[in-house]
């Protein structure tokens, strides 16, 4: 059995190892009483990399299986608001939030709407955009 020195047990992540990030999966919950949802997007924030990124994919066939009368245009509009918040657009009902941390906090806050965030998760990646693409492939598409 080998011993771990206290200094090496809690060492910061080196830039070569990557940047820490947080992400939420965005869910479309057409009928809350049924507690069914389809993952429709991912929002990723890396403070170290200075990134707040969002990606979406609407599978209308899967959504129609949960609710044939769902207004997918309204779902797209809700996702566009999230994309706008990520890049700091304001007005038209969008919040005026001064930094990525507050924007991610607003996006990741629990809510009872058709599009809502899941729990916040963390990870480490060298390329936030590539990691967002990977998460979209893994969790949404």
Going by their DSSP bridges, the two strands 19-28 and 115-117 should be labelled as antiparallel
Residues with Cβ within 8 Å of 52's Cβ and at least 6 positions away in sequence, in order, are: 43, 44, 45, 86, 87, 100, 103, 104
Predicted TM-score (pTM) of the model is 0.85
pLDDT of residue 64: 96
Q: What tens digit of pLDDT does each residue of 71-92 get?
A: 999 999 999 999 999 999 988 8
How far is residue 64 CA from its own chain's centroid?
Answer: 23
The pLDDT confidence band at residue 11, using thresholds 50, 70 and 90, is very low
Work out the average pLDDT over 53-69.
Answer: 96
Q: Reply yes or no on whether the pLDDT at 3 is more than 60.
A: no
């Amino acid at each position: 059995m080998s011993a771990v020195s206290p200094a090496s047990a809690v060492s910061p992540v080196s830039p070569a190892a990557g940047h820490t990030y947080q992400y939420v999966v965005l869910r479309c919950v057409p009928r809350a009483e049924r507690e069914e949802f389809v993952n429709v997007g991912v929002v990723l924030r890396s403070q170290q990399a200075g990134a707040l990124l969002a990606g979406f994919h609407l599978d209308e066939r899967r959504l129609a299986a949960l609710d044939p009368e769902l207004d997918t245009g309204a779902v797209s509009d809700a996702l566009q608001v999230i994309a706008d918040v990520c890049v700091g657009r304001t007005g038209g009902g969008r919040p005026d939030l001064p930094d990525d941390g507050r924007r991610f906090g607003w996006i990741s806050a629990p809510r009872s709407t058709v599009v809502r965030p899941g729990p916040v998760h963390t990870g480490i990646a060298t390329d936030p955009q590539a990691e967002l693409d990977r998460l979209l492939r893994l969790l949404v598409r």
